[in-house]
Amino acid sequence: MEKRILGLDPGLAILGFGVINCKKNETKIQDTTVQMVDFGVISTPANAEMGQRLCTLFDDLHTLMEELQPDLVAIEKLFFYRMSSTILVAQARGVIMLALAQRRLPYVEFTPAQIKQALTGYGNAEKYEVQEAVARELNLEDIPKPDDASDALAVALTAWFQV
């Protein structure tokens, strides 16, 4: 079984993405491989009008999905920080959900605690512990930067561990 998983760390100013290819041999449980394909961010300028920022996310996300052709999308669930930032992230998530629906792509969602648990075995792990786990699982020499991209790879890995 092979899957290409697109992980997304939603945000209005910065939307992190990370893509992994995964292969599991159905006859040998131990025979699995995971490989990082790409990672990065979609950014929108803070001084742009809200509608334009959402259009940028939508258009860039469609381009990304067209180029990378994921089989599954994994999204970090909305986590409440401050009400103002939560609303902005919710608007960005709405755009993400619309783009996924238009492409009829299946998706899964995980809370920050579920992601931390999957990667470190501890639901209250520190951010750097999750980042180190991402680098280790993907055999990377360095932790992916920026943090939003590393977070998106963590979401994608969590989906792979759950598949």
Are the CB atoms for 6 and 73 separated by under 8 Å?
yes
- pLDDT value, residue 145: 95
- pLDDT over 80 (residue 78): no
Rounded mean pLDDT, 53-61: 96
Which residues have a catalytic role annotated? Answer: 9, 76, 148
Least confident range of 47-56, 62-71, 86-95, 118-127:
86-95
**In this predicted structure, what is the pLDDT of residue 56?**
96
- Alpha carbon separation from 89 to 21, 44, 77, 117 (Å, rounded): 27, 13, 10, 23
Would you state the pLDDT for residue 30? 63
Q: How confident is the model at residue 28 (pLDDT cuts 50, 70, 90)?
A: low
